[in-house]
Amino acid sequence: MKLLKLNLSGVRGIVGQTITPELVIDFASAFGTMLPAGTVLVGRDSRKSGLMVQEGAVAALLSTGHEVRNLGICPTPVIQFLVRQQRAAGAIAITAGHNPAEWNALNFINSQGTYLNEFQGSELLDIYHLGRFAHQKLKKSPAVINELNPEEVYFSWLSQKLRTEEIARARFKVVADPCNGAGAGLVNKFFSLLGCELVAVNNEPSGYFPHDPEPRPRNAGEVASLVRATGANLGFLLNSDASRVSLVTETGETLSEEYTLPVVAGYYLQQQPGPVITSLSTSRMIEAVAEKYGVPVIRTRVGQSALIQVMLQEDGALAGEGSGGLAFRNFQPAFDGFAVMGLVLEAMAVQQKKLSELVKVIPRYHIVKDKIVCPPHRLHSLVAETRKLYPRAEVNSLDGLHVSLKDAWVHIRASSTEPLIRIIAESQSAARAQLEVDKVVAFLNRLLG
Amino acid sequence: MKKTLPLKVSISGVRGIIGESLTPQIAARFASAFGTYLGPGQVLVGQDTRPSGTMLKKAVLSGLLATGCQPVEVGVLPIPTILFLTHEKQARGAVVVTASHNPPEWNGLKFIGAEGLYLRRSQVEEFLDIFHQGEFTFVAAERIKSPLQEKNAGELHLEKILSRLKVKAIRGRGFRVVADCANGAGATLLPQLLRELGCEALLINTDLSGHFAHQSEPVPENLGELCRRVKEFGADLGLAQDADADRLALVDEKGRALGEDLTLALAVAHVLGKKRDPVAVNLSASMAIDDLAARYRVPVIRTRIGEINVVEAMLDEGAVIGGEGNGGVIWPEIHPCRDSLTAAGLVLEMLAESQKPLSVLAAEFKKYHLLKDKMDCPAELAFRAVVELRRRYHSEKISTLDGLKISWPDSWVHLRPSNTEPIIRLLAESRSAVRSRRLIERFKKEIKSIIRKLA
């Protein structure tokens, strides 16, 4: 089966199977057709297929008459920041985030520096399907400008947003694993701005991924042993475009990526009170934090695009989800791994606490995640079927099926990036959560035959 | 009727109008097909100066990368230089983003195979089959390579040309030259070649920003400025390249455009004077070539129209010089391709060694008058008309290698339906312009009456 997933923010697939030059050019042509005249930024993570995709995307944007600023290997949050800073018409970020190396994706960013909203996303798809692109005659070619070190202006902005001096005074020692992704190398600059001593692994933007570029405990073994061996204050894992972070404590405990949101929110809401925007699939841990500061939690569909739109509409203080991606009102409306790392350090410096101490105050929940491979044409109907398992429960069908039970919740949804059904349950008891997941998995397996 | 978009796929590649028929999608598909055809390896990628060149080049890079090839970007260079470098660097092939002398709103892709030769007809068919079937062998992500960039790769070509010329003799003359590069790729190398040959050169139309100074075919009606500058500058000669610098036309010291076919005649005369081996030219080249070959007692091989046909005959028959009557000189000593830089070097060497002005050297060939014309005719009727003419003239001395060529003792006419446009091309040569014109008019009339009967 060939994998190709379209969602509001872009198109994702396996290189050579579905991510081909022609598909890339078609989508980028549709994006160029949709955008007003102006400059479009193009950046990529470090994947080996990145240049193939980038050349196709740039060809299409030139063809639709747009000047292109080529940022090279560049984290997505930096691209998003530069769109606003340079008043660009939009951007394409070439990255498959946490997906393995054989994947790649085009992510489309509008002039506000956010992923396309629902209306823009469906307009893009309409133009793509119609196949009528605004190719120009090019009597004069738009320029392609290569920007060297595009991250510098971003880092100088970020270091003003953070309480840099207080962080520096704490003289932290940190371990970071950018997974040889777009954040590789840049972490040196970033942590030296914050006066931290850095122990980095997998820090070459080579596109060779020593483990899947997904920040989560399963991939954190190397960081945990380095934290212990070097006596570091904490460890960070990044995904391939530096938009998501997971944490490792000073004791070498590999925290679930679900912890990133409540840990940072516990400090940030104190400075910036306001609603917290999170997805239906994210842990209840955030409810306790929000309650402490008397702010509401608003649950949305899963994914950066949905969260950011609601954050902008509801003037949310922060938006984040259990994958470790967070955005902050007085930073930028984008999942930003550098802002997250900076705020974790700031929380520790300002409150003079160890990471394990910040974690300890968060109520313990146990989240269990599972997934079932499912043919794309049955994804949504099977998810809908699971309603039968919960005839009397309180459900939310904003994104798949979210069921609130007395002592647990379970969320069953079609992945927007792969042909999978994801099943997530959470409870204060691990056994209870596992039970709920097993029940749904068994039910779905029966339906799948 | 719906307007048809002009996308022309032929033996020499693909051409179309930017923003209409030639899109980045099509360029990427062609590059994917070519990468599939060649297999993983180095592929040179060059371009001419057209403003749409970068856009198309990027689409080509994407297609080549996806099929596992390693593109080597050589930038704006003359076509012959890219052909030469493909061989020199032992690349699998090359793609050149160019539409040769088509108007600026056009662009295209030319495909070059191993050893720096254009694809032969059979190779083109294999390659186009892959394109049309659309089954490309895209490699897995980890096998995708990064492109290389080569700056100044053209110097290797100049070095080779200079190593085969009598540089000292040419330098000794200190020629004054006016060169018109037509704002094409030739401007990247011709100035340096002239400098190395000790010429005092006035260069015009050397702007590489992609705006053709004039219609870029180096035919006399486009060379008004060059002729004037040659006189003003008191130059020994004028050189005119076409946009991709494979063809060369000459202007004599009196400021007269000599006609493209004369470049080949001069080059053949010069090379045969040094080495007596066969000559290969296409059916449309002047009878002056036959006279020269007779003088040096070497055979002339006549081929179908199309550079690759002449090149193949030259390689097969061990020809020492050859080319086309449109100013395309092929000297395999450098590389078997039409090359305006090589042609310029040969002409300068001839001037240096003969100690005669260009007008005197040219006078010898002035006795022939070659006229070119064309007439509109639907493609299907054009082929049938030519078949009918073959029947009518079968008792004359004819060649049916490419269309129909009828030869008389001191004149000939060549009728050829175009592969790319609904026209018939007519060429005639004789000892007087009036007779050549009369030959063309006579056959135009005859074709018209045949078409009337057929239609």
Residue A1, pLDDT above cutoff 60 = no
Asked whether residue B179 falls in the same domain as residue B69, the answer is no
Strand A103-109 and strand A401-404: pairing? unpaired
Asked whether residue B194 falls in the same domain as residue B332, the answer is yes
Who among B29, B54, B146 is closest to A22 (CB)? B29
Distance CA A183, CA A201 (A): 12
Distance CA B162, CA B34 (A): 33
Average pLDDT over residues A295-316: 95
Q: What is the pLDDT of residue B250?
A: 97
Give chain B's radius of gyration (CA, Å).
22
Q: What strands, in cross-sheet order, belong to the sheet with A297-300?
A: A297-300, A276-279, A318-320, A326-328
Distance CA B363, CA B360 (A): 5
Percent of chain A residues topping a pLDDT of 90: 90
Q: What is the pLDDT of residue B421?
A: 75
Asked whether residue A53 falls in the same domain as residue A129, the answer is yes
Average pLDDT, chain A: 95
Asked whether residue B389 falls in the same domain as residue B281, the answer is no
- Domain of residue A111, CATH code: 3.40.120.10
10 Å Cβ neighbour count for B294? 11
- Specify the number of domains making up chain A: 3
Distance CA B50, CA B210 (A): 4
Residues of A in contact with B63 (CB under 8 A): 21, 56
Average pLDDT over residues A35-48: 97
- Specify the number of domains making up chain B: 3
Average pLDDT over residues A202-214: 95
Tell me: the pLDDT tens digits for A360-378?
999 999 989 999 999 988 9
Average pLDDT over residues A349-365: 96
> Is there a domain that residue B159 lies in?
no
ipTM of the complex: 0.89
Which amino acid, one-letter code, is at B258? L
Contact B62 A59 (CB under 8 A): yes
Which stretches of A51-95 are assigned E, i.e. beta strand? 67-73, 90-94
Note the Cα A291 to chain centre separation in Å: 25
Distance CA A226, CA A214 (A): 18
pLDDT band at B373 (very low <50, low <70, confident <90, very high): very high
Contact A137 B147 (CB under 8 A): no
Residue of B nearest to A139 (CA): B51
Partner B, chain A 72-111, Cβ-Cβ below 8 Å: 101-104
Q: What is the pLDDT of residue B216?
A: 66
Tell me: the pLDDT tens digits for A244-303?
999 999 999 999 999 999 999 999 999 999 999 999 989 999 999 999 999 999 999 989
Asked whether residue A144 falls in the same domain as residue A161, the answer is no
pLDDT band at A415 (very low <50, low <70, confident <90, very high): confident
Q: At what angle do helices B433-454 and B379-392 cross, to 10 degrees?
A: 110
Quick check: helix, strand or coil at residue A98?
A: coil
Place of tokens 């000939």: B412
pLDDT band at B378 (very low <50, low <70, confident <90, very high): confident
Residue A74: phi and psi, rounded to 5, are: -155, 130
Asked whether residue A217 falls in the same domain as residue A350, the answer is yes
> Is there a domain that residue B158 lies in?
no
Q: What is the pLDDT of residue B214?
A: 67
Contact A51 B25 (CB under 8 A): no
Q: Among residues A103, A128, A148, which one ends one of the domains?
A: A148
Tell me: the pLDDT tens digits for A94-135?
999 999 999 999 999 999 999 999 899 999 999 999 999 999
Q: Which of A88, A9, A45 is nearest to A308 (CA)?
A: A9
Q: What is the pLDDT of residue A140?
A: 86
Residue B4, pLDDT above cutoff 70 = no
Asked whether residue A217 falls in the same domain as residue A297, the answer is yes
Asked whether residue B138 falls in the same domain as residue B283, the answer is no
pLDDT band at B1 (very low <50, low <70, confident <90, very high): very low
Asked whether residue A328 falls in the same domain as residue A373, the answer is no
Asked whether residue B88 falls in the same domain as residue B102, the answer is yes
Residue pair A401/A408 in contact by the 8 Å Cβ criterion: no
Percent of chain A residues topping a pLDDT of 70: 98
Distance CA A323, CA A259 (A): 9
Joined together, the tokens standing for residue B355 give 């100690």
pLDDT band at B249 (very low <50, low <70, confident <90, very high): very high
Asked whether residue A189 falls in the same domain as residue A258, the answer is yes
pTM of the model: 0.90
Residue pair B245/B80 in contact by the 8 Å Cβ criterion: yes
Asked whether residue B352 falls in the same domain as residue B210, the answer is yes
Tell me: the pLDDT tens digits for B316-357?
999 999 999 999 999 999 999 999 999 999 999 999 999 999
Q: Which of B99, B78, B95 is nearest to B153 (CA)?
A: B78
Distance CA B42, CA B97 (A): 17
Q: Which of A354-363, B4-13, B293-302, B363-372 has the lowest mean pLDDT?
A: B4-13
Who among B20, B63, B104 is closest to A21 (CB)? B63
Quote the minimal CA–CA distance from B327 to chain A in Å: 29
Residue B79: phi and psi, rounded to 5, are: -55, -45
Tell me: the pLDDT tens digits for A3-17?
667 766 789 999 999
Task: State the residue range of the domain holding A76.
Answer: 4-148
CA distances from A355 to A242, A251, A348, B359 (A): 21, 9, 7, 90
Q: Which of A369, A408, A95 is nearest to A218 (CA)?
A: A369
Residue B260, pLDDT above cutoff 60 = yes
Q: What is the pLDDT of residue B139?
A: 97
Distance CA A314, CA A274 (A): 9
